[in-house]
Amino acid sequence: MTIFNLKRGDTGPTLEVTLLNPDLTQYDPTGGIVKLNIKLSSGIRLVRDMTIVNSKVRYSWIDSDWGPASGGDPATVGGLVVSPLVLTTKIFGHRMEYEVLKDGVRLTFPNTGFVILNIYEDIA
């Protein structure tokens, strides 16, 4: 399972991912349309457009990601919130996946499980 961590309000680091086929070979999304799908622990769904750079997919977080969710369901603007913390060593975060539409075929990565997005409270 892959984990990506952010502090609330940050616009970096950029999320950059090499997509892998089930046989662990690299999938090249060049020429496709890629969406970042996020399902918050609250159940709210967010979607963001990703860019393709050198056969990798990339999303650069922006200030408006941290505002109120808007744009429908799934929300296309805002909506990121701090992950709920449990008073143990385990942290429960939000789930992410990458959806590619290329040559009329829709593929979701990873094809088993999810990527975990942990968003931590900042102190400033």
pLDDT tens digits, one per residue of 38-50 = 998 878 899 999 9
Fold of the 3-120 domain: Immunoglobulin-like (2.60.40)
Domain ranges of the chain: 3-120
β-partners of residue 6 are 119
pLDDT at residue 71 is higher than 60: yes
- pLDDT > 90: percent of the chain: 53
Indicate the pTM of the whole model. 0.87
pLDDT at residue 15 is higher than 50: yes
Read off the pLDDT of each residue in 8-37 and give the average, rounded to a whole number: 94
- At residue 56, the pLDDT reads 97
CB neighbour burial string for 65-104, b if at least 16 within 10 angstroms, e if fewer: bbeebeeeebbeebbbeebeeeeeeeeebbebbbbbebee
- At residue 18, the pLDDT reads 96
Q: What share of the chain is helix, strand, coil (3-state, %, to 5)?
A: 5, 45, 50
Tokens of 45: 């769904």
**Which residue, 18, 6, 26, 22, is CA-closest to 53?**
18
- At residue 92, the pLDDT reads 56
Tokens of 82: 């701090």
